[in-house]
Amino acid sequence: MCSCENPEMNEVLLKERISRIKNKIVILSGKGGVGKSTVAANIAMSLALAGFKTGLLDVDIHGPSIPTIMGLQDKKIQNDGISLLPLGYGNNLKVVSIGFLLDNSDSAIIWRGPAKIGFIKQMLGQVEWGELDYLIVDCPPGTGDEPLSAIQLLENVTGAVIVTTPQKLAITDVRKSVNFCERLNVPVIGVIENMSGFVCPECNKTVDIFKSGGGERMAQDMNVPFLGKIPLDPNIVEAGDEGKPFVYFYSKTPTAKIMENIIQPIVDFKEKKEKNNMKIAIPTAQGKLCQHFGHCEVFTFIEIDEETKTIISKEEIVPPEHIPGIMPPWVKEQGASLVLAGGMGGRAQDLFIEQGLKILAGCPSEDPEKVATDYLNGTLVTGANGCDHSHCGSH
């Protein structure tokens, strides 16, 4: 590791360096072995081939496989005394793996948790990426402290791609990953179902081995976009073992085309996000929409994509003290444009409308996510503009 040992300096450098990266995309999976690194490497390669300045960062501290997949396992990363310099791969791709910093990629890495996180932090702060359109981050698997620290250190992650396989257990893990993203306020770009069906080397037809399609159904259930199915393809194993990035060396195969197509929703994501996104504010108490908005415990802010009708993020924020006139500008400041409320008096509604916010009152006391989903699907039934507190009859 390079000689920059000053943690404060490292922090400043980290912020400054990360600010020059336009889009930070984290690749997550509920567990190891589902093809997360393979997908991360091929997404990065496809973006670079499409002309984007791309970085590929492997912080999978338990099994950094990016060096092998990219055929860079014998390379050592350079440092100029202050910074670590990524390895260039073709014109547009730069690669850094935690594996480059370890002496022997075969040796198991046994570290205490804080040491691992410290190492990830130090590394993130030290890499000099320069200007990047995309940084693709191959995160440690699961939803523990390591992916959590990586995401927090990256700050304002643009979105997450979740990789799964079609088996039932893997699908359960995806739910955990989606919830993890929600907790960290990271929008889910979508789910990829990898190893979905098998491409027969004899006849080139795709045969289902595990039941495919589970990931797709789960994505639908969880209201997150589905980005596609990648079959089990012996060429991927061969490419991975030989250190030949699959989409580059097998570009003519149908599987490579599927992988290439996956970058489109990633590229469209930010643009679309700005165009179609809308934030809804829902006064909440005890996990349900609260009829009396002035007495709610928190406001649930739910970001939705109106076009794909999906929930992108959910955040609960404690509102300021309830003094008339304070709440509407505060809700607006959080970026919301619509309030889905229970009972609300005409005067209170006017205060929100004056702020340019739309109000839909009379919504039911349901889980905020359900209320938002019903609103998106046009199935939200609003009842009488009432109040569920017997003590406050006059709204």
Contact residues: ligand ADP, CB under 6 A: 29, 32-38, 65, 194-195, 230, 232-233, 236-237, 240
Cα separation of 7 and 239, whole Å? 39
The letter for the amino acid at 215 is G
Residues 6+ apart with CB under 8 A from 91: 48
Smallest separation (angstroms) from ligand ADP to the CB of 120 = 16
Residue with Cβ nearer ligand ADP (201 or 393): 201
For ligand ADP, give the closer residue by CB, 191 or 232: 232
- Give the burial string for 163-178 (b: 16+ CB within 10 Å, else e): bbbbbeebbebbeebb
Please, is 367 exposed, middle or buried when counting C-beta atoms within 10 Å of its C-beta (0-12, 13-18, 19+)?
middle
Looking at the Cβ atoms of 214 and 283, the one nearer to ligand ADP is: 214
> Smallest gap, in angstroms, from Cβ of residue 260 to ligand ADP?
14
- The pair of structure tokens assigned to 40 is 């991360």
Q: Which is nearer to ligand ADP, 26 or 281 (CB)?
A: 26
Separation of alpha carbons 145 and 106, rounded Å: 24
Is the CB of 27 or the CB of 359 nearer to ligand ADP?
27
Q: Specify the residue, 194 or 223, whose C-beta has the smaller distance to ligand ADP.
A: 194
**Phi and psi, residue 34, nearest 5°:** -90, -5
Matching residue, tokens 């789910």: 191
Judging by DSSP bridges, how do beta strands 277-285 and 226-232 pair with one another?
Answer: unpaired
For residues 248 and 71, give the distance between their C-alpha atoms in angstroms, rounded to a whole number. 13
Half-sphere exposure of 206 (CA within 13 A, CB side): 15
